[in-house]
A and B are shown apart, each in its own frame.
Chain A
Amino acid sequence: MTGIVGAVLEAWDELRIHRVRVLLALIGVACAVTAITGITAAVTMVGQAMQEETERMSGRDTTLQAWSMGSGNMSPAEVDAAVDGVTERHDISYHSVQATADLKVRGAQPGDYVEWSAVDVDHETITRQGMEEGRWFSDTDTERLAPVLVVNQAFLDTYADGASATTHPTVVIEGETPVAATVIGEIPVQWNDEGPRALLLFDQAMHWFPDRVMADAYRFWVPPELAEEFAAVLPRDLAAAGVPFDVQPPQEDPLVIDRVLQYLVLGVGGFALLLGGLGLLNIALVTVRYRIREIGIRRSFGATSGRVFFGVLMESVVATTVAGVVGVVIAVAIIKNIPIDRIFGRPIDDLPGFPFDAALVGMACAIGIGALAGLIPAIYAVRVKVIDAIRY
């Protein structure tokens, strides 16, 4: 115990004495660690942002997309019932229809267009649908006597005088039987200058506007390990139920290009770290030659060759560890201040904290380069003959 504590104290003491030289060598190491940690973290966080963006558009990873291949004379409601039967049999927890509707809001001017979608409650989970205000649909909303809507800001601006969704404004949807629909929530815009957009529950859409709804696609969110199996089984069973669908297998990893970029930048960071390490090695070698006499004196105090080796090695490791901590702290400061909202146009829902892995990678690189840079001077220090060292 005292041996280890003593060696660390001794190493720290040496660094204190030679701080200017060591500091200069360590700037490179700290910069390289900042680069490696920062890039690892940035790629992780940007990857998360891109993943979320992808999932909003096409559903979470291992979401199977099914396209209708024609269902004969069956109505959308009958198709939906058949699909529900198949998903229940396979115990698929999350699935949602992707239906479009051709509806008109009272007061709309000619040329006004609203993007209408009819979905199931699970749509929110499958597509990570976040809310700006209000709430998403719940199962009990299906039982309501009037339809409820989830809309975007453009819809509220155009048809509800910009009222907040939390005030539950109502709009009248034209049709054979006009009906007042209540807005219960506001969803974020998908892109700048997005036009009015509204979602309603498929069951309610079928109840109020059965002739204006076209349900031609479904999404099934399945466990990753079962995705391939379901991609094969679902079309067969759906066809057997009289509703043939073409089921797309899950997407391949969409971030492969970013991984290549990550490795490229990590490679550059690693090279910078190597250069920093060589600088440190140079300084350590010069320092250890300068300290031969001191090493001899310490041997007269009872320092074993192992302790001398460990001490010199530790000087390098302690130094790069400190540089690593500094590098990681700088990386955290930089990454935490990247304006992700501005880059992606919207905040990340599940914004990950600073990735612990990235910090670990940075620290491991720093300690590793310290050990490598300290190895040669440590071997040199041990080989010095004590009696020659004292006279040096």
Chain B
Amino acid sequence: MTATPLVDLQGVTRHVELPNGSTLEILRGVDLTVGPGEHVAIVGRSGTGKSTLLNILGLLDSPTSGEYLLEGEPVGRLRSRALARRRGDDFGFVFQQFNLLQGRTALENVAAPLLYARGKQFWNRTKLATQSLTRVGLGERLDTRPEKLSGGEQQRVAIARALVRGPRVILADEPTGALDVETGQAIMTLLDDAASETGSALVTITHDLAIAARADRQFRLADGVLVPIHLDAPAAVAENAAVATIAVAETARLTT
């Protein structure tokens, strides 16, 4: 008997109405299952809908059609309050730009999600936040504000924040996008280890094939469709090299 997947997308589409009246199809029928503790990577060009897919996975956005089952339960039937509660309980987000709350210390940032928790998690938020920051190696920087931290340290605070409520799924949107290669690798190692330690599933969106290669399974999002890829297969490498090249070119264009 097959265990119920943690996350199960079945034919998910997402369309948006443009101001000129036309319809933009971002996702055209995405199928994806993620099991508990599994690490999945999704690569794709900019504008292919990776972030939209991540937002749908994290219950921040809703599919236009298709079914999203969270532990077998259709999320489409959940009311907004229940959705918010499951989002807080089951998902941890790591963003490319860290998205730390300005003016708050590292400890206050990590404790912030616990303000929306209940019971012991709420009342013990300072202790839990301290533990989470210690786990990512920032036990000595609890009272430091984000603007005083390096990029790598800020992302570690973001990871500690994503982990603090013990989520079932960590959703990382370009977690190394704002970091140099070396720091990026260190952050991914930390994220991988933390996810393995806590048994959380990890869904990573990235341009970086080396980062994607660390995952158990890889997918490429192109033309609104999710295609499984195998980075060790020569054909896939060649195909995805084009993606990487485009990504590098785009980055170069943006920075010049």
Contact = CB atoms under 8 A, between A and B. Distances in A.
A102 interface: no
B38 interface: no
B173 to A, nearest CB: 9
Interface in A1-54: 2, 5-6, 9-10, 13, 17
B81 A304 contact: yes
B84 A304 contact: yes
Contacts of B118: 2
A2 B113 CA distance: 13
B101 A302 contact: no
A2 B85 contact: no
Interface stretch (B40-48, B86-94, B131-139, B219-227): B86-94
A359 B86 CA distance: 44
Contact of B113 (A13, A302, A304, A387): A302
Interface string A288-328: 00000110011111111111000000000000000000000
A387 B81 contact: no
B248 interface: no
Contacts of A307: 84, 116
Contacts of B58: 300
Interface residues on B, range: 20 to 34
Interface string B48-64: 00011001001011000
Contacts of A361: none
B141 interface: no
B95 interface: yes
**Chain A contact surface mostly:** helix
Nearest to B82: A304
A390 interface: yes
A231 interface: no
Contact of A303 (B84, B89, B93, B122): B84
A187 B58 CA distance: 83
Contact of B112 (A293, A301, A304, A390): A301
A386 interface: yes
Contacts of A387: 51-52, 55, 60-61
B185 interface: no
Contacts of B101: 294, 297
Contacts of A9: 115
A6 B86 CA distance: 18
A304 B80 contact: yes
B108 interface: yes
A298 B112 contact: yes
11 contacts: A6-B116, A17-B103, A298-B112, A299-B60, A300-B60, A300-B91, A302-B85, A302-B89, A302-B113, A304-B85, A390-B60
What 9 pairs across the A-B complex have the smallest Cβ distances? A302-B88, A301-B113, A17-B103, A304-B84, A2-B122, A6-B115, A302-B116, A300-B93, A386-B60
Given A2-B123, A386-B55, 20 more contacts: A2-B119, A5-B122, A6-B115, A17-B103, A17-B104, A298-B112, A299-B87, A301-B113, A301-B116, A302-B86, A302-B87, A302-B116, A302-B117, A304-B80, A304-B84, A304-B85, A305-B80, A306-B81, A387-B60, A387-B61
